[in-house]
Amino acid sequence: MDQTLEMVETYAETGLRTLLLARRDISAAEYEQFAHQIETIQDTRRGMDDLDELIDQVYTEIEQDLILVGATAIEDCLQDKCKTTI
């Protein structure tokens, strides 16, 4: 974990776009509950200003107790001066 975090910090300091990969097993019931919450929010709040915030709250709930799998980094060449901006 420490080594991965050091590598991510080094990547970020050199201007690379970083991504941490993590996982956890969930039961079918937990997934169904998660999917139902997202679907309900989307159906009842479509077009509302707080839609993204409510969906983020549900994702925050499920993204707990993750196991770090690894990290990756890429150079973002899609935009001019991106490295400087990052």
| Alpha helix stretches (DSSP H) within 1-86 | 2-13, 28-45, 51-62, 82-85
Same domain, 16 and 32: no
**Any idea how long the chain is?**
86
Same domain, 15 and 39: no
Q: How far apart are CA 33 and CA 29, in angstroms?
A: 6
Same domain, 60 and 72: no
| Residue 68 contacts residue 20 (beta carbons within 8 Å) | yes
Claim: this prediction has a pTM higher than 0.75:
no
Counting the structural domains of the chain, the total is 2
Same domain, 31 and 7: no
Same domain, 59 and 83: no
* Full residue range of the structural domain in which residue 18 is found: 1-24+67-86
Q: Phi and psi of 19, rounded to 5°? A: -145, 125
pLDDT above 90 (res 80) = no
Q: For 36-64, write each residue's pLDDT tens digit.
A: 999 988 888 766 778 888 889 999 999 99
| Percent of the chain at pLDDT exceeding 90 | 48
